[in-house]
Amino acid sequence: MNEILLVEDNPDDVELTLRAFRKSKIANEIIVARDGVQALDYLFATGEHAGRDIAPLPQLVLLDLKLPRIDGLQVLQRIRANPRTKTLLVVILTSSTEEPDLKTGYSLGANSYIRKPVDFHEFVDAVSSLGMYWLLLNQSPPAPAG
Protein backbone atom coordinates (compact mmCIF):
# COMPACT_ATOMS: atom_id res chain seq x y z
CA MET A 1 0.00 0.00 0.00
CA ASN A 2 1.48 3.35 -1.01
CA GLU A 3 1.80 6.14 1.50
CA ILE A 4 0.54 9.68 1.40
CA LEU A 5 2.69 12.31 3.05
CA LEU A 6 0.49 14.99 4.59
CA VAL A 7 2.52 18.11 5.42
CA GLU A 8 0.31 20.20 7.69
CA ASP A 9 1.01 22.09 10.91
CA ASN A 10 -2.56 22.81 12.00
CA PRO A 11 -3.79 19.90 14.21
CA ASP A 12 -7.43 20.62 13.30
CA ASP A 13 -6.63 20.45 9.57
CA VAL A 14 -4.68 17.21 10.10
CA GLU A 15 -7.66 15.63 11.88
CA LEU A 16 -10.07 16.98 9.28
CA THR A 17 -7.97 15.55 6.45
CA LEU A 18 -7.62 12.16 8.15
CA ARG A 19 -11.40 12.03 8.78
CA ALA A 20 -12.07 13.01 5.16
CA PHE A 21 -9.77 10.22 3.91
CA ARG A 22 -11.50 7.66 6.16
CA LYS A 23 -14.95 8.85 5.07
CA SER A 24 -13.83 8.62 1.41
CA LYS A 25 -12.56 5.06 2.05
CA ILE A 26 -9.02 5.95 1.00
CA ALA A 27 -6.97 3.29 2.75
CA ASN A 28 -3.44 4.50 2.00
CA GLU A 29 -1.24 4.94 5.04
CA ILE A 30 -1.02 8.64 5.92
CA ILE A 31 2.31 9.92 7.23
CA VAL A 32 1.97 13.34 8.89
CA ALA A 33 4.80 15.88 8.91
CA ARG A 34 4.02 18.92 11.08
CA ASP A 35 6.48 21.30 9.38
CA GLY A 36 8.72 21.60 6.35
CA VAL A 37 11.79 20.22 8.10
CA GLN A 38 9.92 17.04 9.14
CA ALA A 39 8.67 16.60 5.56
CA LEU A 40 12.15 16.89 4.07
CA ASP A 41 13.64 14.65 6.80
CA TYR A 42 11.04 12.01 5.96
CA LEU A 43 11.56 12.22 2.19
CA PHE A 44 15.35 12.24 2.35
CA ALA A 45 15.83 10.00 5.46
CA THR A 46 17.65 12.69 7.41
CA GLY A 47 17.29 14.23 10.87
CA GLU A 48 14.66 12.42 12.94
CA HIS A 49 14.12 9.98 10.04
CA ALA A 50 17.81 9.16 9.50
CA GLY A 51 18.28 5.50 8.68
CA ARG A 52 14.71 4.98 7.48
CA ASP A 53 14.34 2.91 4.31
CA ILE A 54 14.21 5.65 1.72
CA ALA A 55 12.37 3.58 -0.89
CA PRO A 56 9.66 3.64 -2.01
CA LEU A 57 8.64 7.28 -2.07
CA PRO A 58 5.13 8.27 -1.00
CA GLN A 59 2.60 8.01 -3.80
CA LEU A 60 1.46 11.56 -3.11
CA VAL A 61 2.49 14.58 -1.04
CA LEU A 62 -0.27 16.89 0.21
CA LEU A 63 1.57 20.10 1.03
CA ASP A 64 0.37 23.08 3.01
CA LEU A 65 2.17 26.35 2.26
CA LYS A 66 2.13 28.20 5.56
CA LEU A 67 4.43 25.96 7.60
CA PRO A 68 6.86 26.62 10.45
CA ARG A 69 10.64 26.27 10.04
CA ILE A 70 10.60 25.78 6.25
CA ASP A 71 7.54 26.88 4.27
CA GLY A 72 5.74 24.73 1.72
CA LEU A 73 7.16 26.51 -1.33
CA GLN A 74 10.70 25.86 -0.08
CA VAL A 75 9.79 22.20 0.52
CA LEU A 76 8.46 21.97 -3.04
CA GLN A 77 11.61 23.60 -4.39
CA ARG A 78 13.81 21.05 -2.56
CA ILE A 79 11.64 18.15 -3.79
CA ARG A 80 11.96 19.29 -7.41
CA ALA A 81 15.72 19.94 -7.09
CA ASN A 82 16.52 16.33 -6.13
CA PRO A 83 16.71 13.76 -8.98
CA ARG A 84 15.12 11.07 -6.78
CA THR A 85 12.07 13.17 -5.85
CA LYS A 86 11.71 15.55 -8.79
CA THR A 87 8.76 13.64 -10.30
CA LEU A 88 7.02 12.97 -6.97
CA LEU A 89 3.35 13.96 -7.12
CA VAL A 90 2.87 17.09 -5.02
CA VAL A 91 -0.55 18.62 -4.49
CA ILE A 92 -0.61 21.92 -2.65
CA LEU A 93 -3.52 21.79 -0.21
CA THR A 94 -3.79 25.18 1.43
CA SER A 95 -6.12 27.85 2.69
CA SER A 96 -4.00 30.52 0.99
CA THR A 97 -5.93 32.69 -1.44
CA GLU A 98 -2.87 34.72 -2.41
CA GLU A 99 -2.31 34.72 -6.17
CA PRO A 100 1.52 34.84 -5.81
CA ASP A 101 1.34 31.52 -3.89
CA LEU A 102 -0.66 29.98 -6.72
CA LYS A 103 1.73 31.23 -9.41
CA THR A 104 4.85 30.31 -7.47
CA GLY A 105 3.48 26.87 -6.57
CA TYR A 106 2.94 26.01 -10.21
CA SER A 107 6.20 27.60 -11.35
CA LEU A 108 8.07 25.43 -8.83
CA GLY A 109 6.41 22.31 -10.21
CA ALA A 110 3.31 21.59 -8.15
CA ASN A 111 1.09 19.01 -9.85
CA SER A 112 -2.05 20.66 -8.52
CA TYR A 113 -3.15 23.50 -6.24
CA ILE A 114 -6.27 23.01 -4.15
CA ARG A 115 -7.73 25.56 -1.77
CA LYS A 116 -9.15 23.93 1.33
CA PRO A 117 -12.91 24.28 1.56
CA VAL A 118 -14.11 25.51 4.95
CA ASP A 119 -17.18 23.25 5.09
CA PHE A 120 -16.44 19.66 6.19
CA HIS A 121 -18.76 18.07 3.60
CA GLU A 122 -17.16 20.08 0.80
CA PHE A 123 -13.76 19.07 2.15
CA VAL A 124 -14.74 15.36 2.15
CA ASP A 125 -15.92 15.73 -1.46
CA ALA A 126 -12.63 17.43 -2.39
CA VAL A 127 -10.56 14.70 -0.69
CA SER A 128 -12.63 11.97 -2.32
CA SER A 129 -12.12 13.53 -5.76
CA LEU A 130 -8.45 14.07 -5.01
CA GLY A 131 -8.05 10.43 -3.98
CA MET A 132 -9.99 9.14 -6.97
CA TYR A 133 -7.86 11.08 -9.43
CA TRP A 134 -4.35 11.11 -7.92
CA LEU A 135 -4.40 7.66 -6.30
CA LEU A 136 -6.50 5.62 -8.75
CA LEU A 137 -6.73 7.24 -12.19
CA ASN A 138 -3.49 9.16 -12.60
CA GLN A 139 -0.48 7.30 -13.99
CA SER A 140 2.48 8.25 -11.82
CA PRO A 141 5.91 8.65 -13.39
CA PRO A 142 8.19 5.64 -12.95
CA ALA A 143 10.41 5.65 -9.89
CA PRO A 144 13.91 6.88 -10.66
CA ALA A 145 16.60 4.21 -10.85
CA GLY A 146 19.07 4.04 -8.04
Q: Is residue 145 part of a domain?
A: no
CATH code, domain carrying 83: 3.40.50.2300
Q: Is residue 146 part of a domain?
A: no
Report the alpha-carbon distance of residue 20 to residue 83 in Å, rounded. Answer: 32
Strand (E) or helix (H) holding 19 = helix 11-23
Q: Is residue 52 part of a domain?
A: yes
Nearest to 63 by CA among 28, 26, 99, 88: 88
pLDDT at 105: 94
Q: Is residue 96 part of a domain?
A: yes
Average pLDDT over residues 104-124: 84
pLDDT, tens digit, 9 for 90 and up, residues 68-84: 999 999 999 999 999 99
Number of structural domains (the chain) is: 1
Q: Is residue 79 part of a domain?
A: yes
Q: Is residue 57 part of a domain?
A: yes
Weakest-pLDDT range from 18-32, 62-76, 99-113: 18-32
Q: Is residue 93 part of a domain?
A: yes
**Domain encompassing residue 35:** 7-117+125-137
Q: Is residue 86 part of a domain?
A: yes
Confidence of residue 138 (pLDDT cuts 50, 70, 90): low
